[in-house]
Amino acid sequence: MLEPLQYLLGTGSGALVGFTLGLVGGGGSILAVPLMVYLVGVPSAHVAIGTSALAVAANAATGLVSHARARTVKWRCGGIYAGAGLIGALAGSTLGKAIDGQKLLALFALLMVAVGMLMLRKRTGEDRPDVQCNRTNAPKVLGFGLGTGAFSGFFGIGGGFLIVPGLIASTGMPMLNAVGTSLVAVAAFGLTTAINYAASGLIDWPLAAVFVGGGVLGGVAGTRAARHLAGSGRLARVFAILIFAVAGYMLWRSAPALLG
């Protein structure tokens, strides 16, 4: 049983994760586990992973509702992407079990840096606000979804920050629509992981509850901020900065394993 202060810190951590999910549609699952372990002080890494997966899924669903009300979600695209991603995650996680965990984190951080650099590049194509997923682009959406899920499963970390650029690349939808639509996949990936961990008794339910509570408030604020920043292209820069910050921290934590 955790101390009252730890539950208070859990509430604040949930608010931060919810804000991140609402703002950029990703990064929440990456931030949740370090916050659970290093800030809240959850003694078991497995419990931290299971609890954060449940909380991130719930927070993503909250952000999804806010984006749906704002009509920024492409439901068919999100469903196709998430469905393919779940298959990829199953295959990727099976392969990832054979690799040292710290080396996986280091390699994943390098991948994050590459994605952040791509997000900062000026896009040559125009946004397509009215884009729909159909027979023409569905194979591309399925391919990106499968690849994102495989990376997510292989590295054992949520792939929210990969889903946004994947949706943009496969459909040409604007950044704001990609953020909203990505939450469909974030929620699906998180819920699948949570169910798996819950079956083994690796979820702290009271902590998950306060984490979700904080995330509801943070998600609403993040969604409002996303709509404010979307018009000028600043949202893509915020997204890239978040990726670089998390990648730098991960590289610092996993540097011994990478150098060894």
What percentage of the chain carries pLDDT values higher than 90? 17
* pLDDT for position 230: 61
How many whole angstroms separate alpha carbon 98 and alpha carbon 155?
Answer: 11
Q: Of 41-50, 153-162, 170-179, 212-221, which gets the smallest average pLDDT?
A: 153-162
Q: 215 or 20: whose pLDDT is higher?
A: 215
Which whole number is the average pLDDT over 157-173?
81
Cβ(172)–Cβ(164) below 8 Å: no
Whether the pLDDT of residue 94 is over 90: the answer is no
Cα–Cα dist 255/168, whole Å: 32
Q: Count other C-beta atoms under 10 Å from residue 44's C-beta.
A: 13
pLDDT tens for 47-92 read: 888 888 888 888 788 778 888 998 889 999 999 999 998 898 878 8
Q: Which of 24-33, 138-147, 160-169: highest mean pLDDT?
A: 138-147
Rounded to the nearest 10°, the torsion over CA 218, 236, 120, 168 is 110
pLDDT tens-digit series, residues 41-54: 888 878 888 888 88
Task: Report yes or no: 70 and 180 within 8 Å, Cβ to Cβ.
Answer: yes
Which pLDDT score is estimated for 12? 93
**Residue for token pair 């998600």:** 219
Question: pLDDT tens-digit profile of 3-44?
Answer: 889 999 999 998 988 887 777 766 666 778 788 888 898 888
Which of these ranges, 18-22, 110-114, 122-126, 170-174, has the smallest mean pLDDT?
122-126
What distances in angstroms separate CA 217 from CA 62, 106, 151, 186, one per listed residue?
9, 32, 30, 18
Residue 143 vs residue 18, higher pLDDT: 143
- Of residues 135 and 228, more confidence is placed in 135
Report phi then psi at 110, rounded to 5: -65, -40
How sure is the predictor about 127, in pLDDT bands with cuts at 50, 70 and 90?
Answer: low
